């Protein structure tokens, strides 16, 4: 909690009780001086009683309640400020924890990404190797099938049909 706010609360609390009495004595003194000294009346005066009652009693009472309301607001502000500071500390701690967790997760993802890149290179190398290794035998096979199909009219119909299917699939590969 802010020390300055505590001091303000203490000051307003002490002023709340002292100020109404000071105001009463100031108003009562002024009204008595105004009615007795200036007007020369030392007897009971209804206006004097009314003014002392209205300005000297109700005014200080209103000041007392206004200051009480201010004190209540200050206490609420201090409580909210304390809670906000606590929430900020917890939030900073949580952000730090989550940041560390994200750093760890990012390093794990980077490592996994590198592994995937390596697997992709291995796959590409494997496909290149397999296609290269298959290309030679398939070329030889296609050549043999073309030679065999050059004399297709001399072959029986079933072997001719099978050779055409094999040649077509071999070319596709």
Does the structure show a pLDDT above 80 at 13? yes
pTM: 0.49
Q: What is the pLDDT of residues 145-160, one digit of tens each?
A: 777 777 777 778 887 7
Rg from Cα positions in the chain: 51
- pLDDT > 70: what percent of the chain? 95
Alpha-carbon distance of 6 to 37, in angstroms, equals 45
Cβ burial of 56 (10 Å; 0-12, 13-18, 19+) is buried
Q: What are the φ and ψ backbone dihedral angles of 45, each rounded to 5 degrees?
A: -130, 125
- The tokens describing 172, both together, are 């596709």
């Amino acid at each position: 909690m802010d020390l300055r706010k505590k001091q303000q609360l203490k000051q307003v609390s002490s002023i709340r009780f002292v100020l109404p009495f000071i105001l009463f004595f100031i108003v009562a003194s002024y009204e008595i001086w105004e009615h007795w000294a200036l007007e020369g009346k030392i007897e009971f005066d209804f206006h004097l009683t009314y003014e002392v009652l209205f300005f000297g009693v109700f005014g200080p009472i209103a000041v007392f309640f206004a200051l009480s309301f201010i004190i209540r607001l200050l206490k609420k502000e201090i409580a909210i400020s304390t809670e906000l500071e606590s929430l900020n500390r917890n939030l900073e701690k949580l952000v730090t924890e989550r940041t560390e967790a994200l750093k760890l997760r990012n390093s794990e993802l980077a490592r996994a990404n590198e592994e995937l890149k390596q697997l992709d290179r291995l796959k590409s190398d494997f496909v290149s190797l397999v296609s290269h290794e298959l290309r030679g035998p398939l070329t030889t096979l296609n050549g043999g099938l073309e030679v065999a199909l050059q004399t297709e009219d001399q072959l029986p119909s079933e072997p001719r049909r099978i050779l055409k299917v094999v040649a077509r699939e071999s070319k596709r590969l």
